[in-house]
Amino acid sequence: MLSNVAKSVSNRSLFSNLKTLSGQKKNGFASEATFETRAFKLHNLEEGPATQVTVTKEDALKYYSQMYMIRRMETAAGNLYKEKTIRGFCHLYSGQEACAVGMRAAMRPEDSCITAYRCHGWTYLMGVSVQGVLSELTGRGGGCAKGKGGSMHMYASQFYGGNGIVGAQVPLGAGIALASQYNGTKGACISLYGDGAANQGQIFEAYNMAYLWKLPCIFVCENNGYAMGTSANRGSSNVNFYTRADFVPGCWVDGMDVLAVREATRFALEHCSSGKGPILLETATYRYSGHSMSDPGTSYRSRDEIAEVRQTRDPITSLREKILSAELASVEELKEIEGKIRAEVDTATKVAKTDKEISVDELTADIYANPQNLTGIRNTIPLAELQHKRLGTAVNM
């Protein structure tokens, strides 16, 4: 028996209605195809994103590759955690790949993003290599933050990281949008949070300020159904998260459909860029793993429920079927892509296990942006001598 959470993402056929554009074939394969997405639900909007979306072969294969890469990378991360090579917290994104890939596909160079601690996939999409992500997870020097941040704190250009404080990234995202507005960069900030964090008071404060100041901020609630182990229906009096920002317009989107997410994000970016202020997106998605690696994820839902979603609404399988049905690519072409990705992740995993950790001398580095301006304050210059007390006596190391 499926829960309401699972039904929300699995009550349709494997892929939406399909229409291949005529006269667009090359070497026996279509160069682009058009699909019908699930209907969007709107709040304080007269019109929403188009439900008929077109994708080129190049983009379809790119999205497929990105989602498949994230899935393999997260599988590797899960294995490394079970081997105790990864310590601390580790939150996997498996099942939610279409959310990040769809949003990233719509982002412009001037746009930015900030998210919560389920951030490995976003880090990869924002320009960090798979090896950079996995080495960061294992606390090695080759990681994107030299192993200092770990699973919950990764950063890249225009990516303000995963945040370890529940909901804290939302007001920070509003601040990033304020900076963009102030500096006139014309960029918007995507600020993501989960359905569990949606009840944090600071989020409603951020909604209010963003609307009053017409900030170019896209608030995104990635509703994966269960927060830290409690279903949305048990934890929220209003589970229509896209309506919860009061005057801020909202849009519900099928978060298991990468093309629907892309179109909703494009719509949201246009809304922000036109000076209308913030908008809220709710992406209805599903996580296959527990909240974190310490949560088996099966005490509050059945294994049958997880299997049902995997079989009927998996974002990667869904796009694969669309590509094949529209004759955008062959099975052999997709298998070649998958093989290359598996090899890349396997190699990155080996490096992440053997990469060196940073030295003790670097522990106080990377704290200040311009440490040269802080002369006279100890332990602010990278690689400078550390001071500590040993046996009650201050010594230099």
184/143 Cα distance (integer angstroms): 33
Predicted confidence at residue 362, as pLDDT, reads 81
Q: pLDDT at residue 59 above 70?
A: yes
| Phi/psi of residue 55, nearest 5 degrees | -135, 140
Q: pLDDT at residue 393 above 60?
A: no
Give me 8's structure tokens: 């929300």
Q: Choose from 325-339, 347-361, 373-387 the range with maximum mean pLDDT.
A: 325-339
DSSP conformation letters of 237-260: S---GGGTTTTS-EEEEETT-HHH
Q: Is 60 exposed, middle or buried (0-12, 13-18, 19+ CB in 10 A)?
A: buried
Predicted confidence at residue 32, as pLDDT, reads 96
pLDDT band at 386 (very low <50, low <70, confident <90, very high): low
Domain(s) of CATH 3.40.50.970: residues in the chain: 32-358
Mean pLDDT, the chain, rounded, equals 90
Evaluate if pTM is beyond 0.75: yes
Among 157-166, 199-208, 356-365, 383-392, the minimum mean pLDDT is found in 383-392
Q: Which residues pair with 217 in a beta bridge?
A: 189
pLDDT band at 367 (very low <50, low <70, confident <90, very high): confident
CATH code: domain 32-358 is: 3.40.50.970
pLDDT band at 366 (very low <50, low <70, confident <90, very high): confident
Predicted confidence at residue 368, as pLDDT, reads 75
Among 23-27, 137-141, 240-244, the minimum mean pLDDT is found in 23-27
pLDDT tens by residue, 170-211: 999 999 999 999 999 999 999 999 999 999 999 999 999 999
Q: pLDDT at residue 18 above 70?
A: no
Q: pLDDT at residue 391 above 50?
A: no
Predicted confidence at residue 214, as pLDDT, reads 98
pLDDT band at 361 (very low <50, low <70, confident <90, very high): confident
Predicted confidence at residue 4, as pLDDT, reads 60
DSSP conformation letters of 44-75: S-S----SEEEEEHHHHHHHHHHHHHHHHHHH
Predicted confidence at residue 56, as pLDDT, reads 97
Q: pLDDT at residue 6 above 70?
A: no
Q: pLDDT at residue 8 above 90?
A: no
Q: pLDDT at residue 349 above 90?
A: yes
pLDDT tens by residue, 259-307: 999 999 999 999 999 999 999 999 999 999 999 998 989 999 999 999 9
201/205 Cα distance (integer angstroms): 7
Predicted confidence at residue 369, as pLDDT, reads 76
